[in-house]
Structures are given as structure tokens and as C-alpha cells.
Amino acid sequence: MTSIDLNSDLGENVADRIVSDDASMLRLVTSANVSCGFHAGSPEGIRETLAAAVAGGVVIGAHPGYRDYENFGRTQVDIGSATLQAHVEYQLGALMGLAAAVGGKVSYVKPHGALYNTIARDERQSKDVVAAIRAIDPSLVLLGLSGGVVLDVAERAGLAVAAEAFADRAYQPDGQLVSRAQEGAVLHDPAAVAERMVRLAADGVIRAIDGTDVPVVAQSICVHGDSPGSVAMAAETKRMLKDAGITIAPFAGSR
């Protein structure tokens, strides 16, 4: 691999819940997964992040989640298909409208949190999310967990897809992410995180929590904006990837 995208989940701040340094992250990443408001963020804050992304030439992605603001969208929700599809459509429409208002466009969709993890293994909810994307704009690229069920569902439905790896998360031997409830699930050391991502880009593997190597094919790397030390991790990852001869470039165009 000679090129890879660097993304972060942004637009999630409100006055009493500041979780990320969006301005700093937008100077490092090539793609921004911007909250659609259901799990975090406010309309004015999301608009500000979108405007900063446009000004910095960062590709914009929609980051819809379950309607679970209290738990930051990280609690799995038992939700019917019609409701889930409508909720995703609503979020995409809102973000696309705000992006247009500041001179930008949404190029891809990356579901958030518990919804992201659920559709990595659940075909029914995957189909609901894919149906929502197709209904709003079938040219949007779906960004999902490498090896996840949703990528196959989306491809069968005619969507373009991209696979993602996580710089700051531990992996299980089967390629799934280690639950945040488990110790060691979230990584914090910038050098160690960066070394893992260089190995991913160069060799297509990530070291799992049990010490085994997991094959991972990915076109994009995520550093969560709300992880402690996220800016340092993103900066070191970008530096080490470039030093290894890897080009940092978006996987989706700015349409």
C-alpha cells in the first residue's frame, strides 16, 4: 500500500461536553467524520466544524449514530428497520444541509459507535443503514470496519465502500474491535499507535490483543477525536507514515 487516508470523528462538542480539539485534528486528517447530532454535538458546533473542514480542504463524511445522546451513541439499541432507516436518513439530510450552507459537500458515510459495531456483524441493521444511504444519495461512499458485514451488504446494493482500521483501538483475533468495557481496549501511546499503523499500511496486519497478527485491509485509518492524546497520536501517525513513504490522501473525493 502506498496511500492511505487519515480520519477522525469530529463535531461532537457542546459547551458542557468538550471531547475533542477539532481545529487541531483538522490540520492533520484528510477526512472528517462529522457528527449528525443524534449522539453528540449541536447544530452550531457541527456547522462550525464543517466550515473549518471546508476551509482546510478536508473531505467531509457524515457520522450518524443511534439516537442515544446520553450515552454518546455507544449503547446498542434494539430498533426496528423502518425507524433505523428513517433516523439515518434524517441525520444524513441534516448534515448535508449544513455542509451546503458553508460551501461544502458530504462525500461519504461512517456510522458511529454502537451502530458502527452492530452493522459490522448484523446483516439486518446493515441493510437498514444501506437503504438509508441509497435513498438519500447513492453516490456516497460507505466507510466501515475492515471485514465487516456491512461492507458486503453495501457492495451488493451497489454502493462504493472503503474499509477502515483504528489506530487507537485494540483488536480481537477475529478482526473485531475489543469492547471499550475491557481493559486495554483504547490505546494512548503515540509512538506505539503510529508503529501499528505503519505496519498496517506496509504489511496489511495489526497485532491483536492476544499477540497474534490479524490481516486487515484498509483504505483509511481512524484516530478518535475524543481519545485522550488524540492530536499527538494523529500527528505521530501521520509523521511516521510519511517517513515510511506512505502518502496520506483521502479515499473519497470532495464531490
What CATH number is attached to the domain comprising 56?
Answer: 3.20.20.370
With a CB cutoff of 8 Å and minimum separation 6, the contacts of 84 are 125, 128, 129, 132
Residue 217 in domain: yes
Residue 255 in domain: no
pTM score, whole prediction: 0.95
Identify any residues that bridge with 145 across adjacent strands, giving them in sequence order: 164
Assigned domain for 254 exists: no
Is 253 a domain residue? no
Is residue 158 in a domain? yes
In a domain, residue 24? The reply is: yes
Containing structural domain, residue 239: 3-248
Give the pLDDT band (50/70/90) at residue 255. Answer: very low
Residue 9 lies in a domain: yes
- The total domain count for the chain is 1
Do the Cβ atoms of 95 and 142 come closer than 8 Å? no
pLDDT at 140 over 70: yes
Q: pLDDT tens digit string along 47-102?
A: 999 999 999 999 999 999 999 999 999 999 999 999 999 999 999 999 999 999 99
Task: Copy the grid coordinates of residue 168.
Answer: 487507537
- Residue 38 included in any domain: yes
Digit-coded pLDDT (tens) for 90-138: 999 999 999 999 999 999 999 999 999 999 999 999 999 999 999 999 9
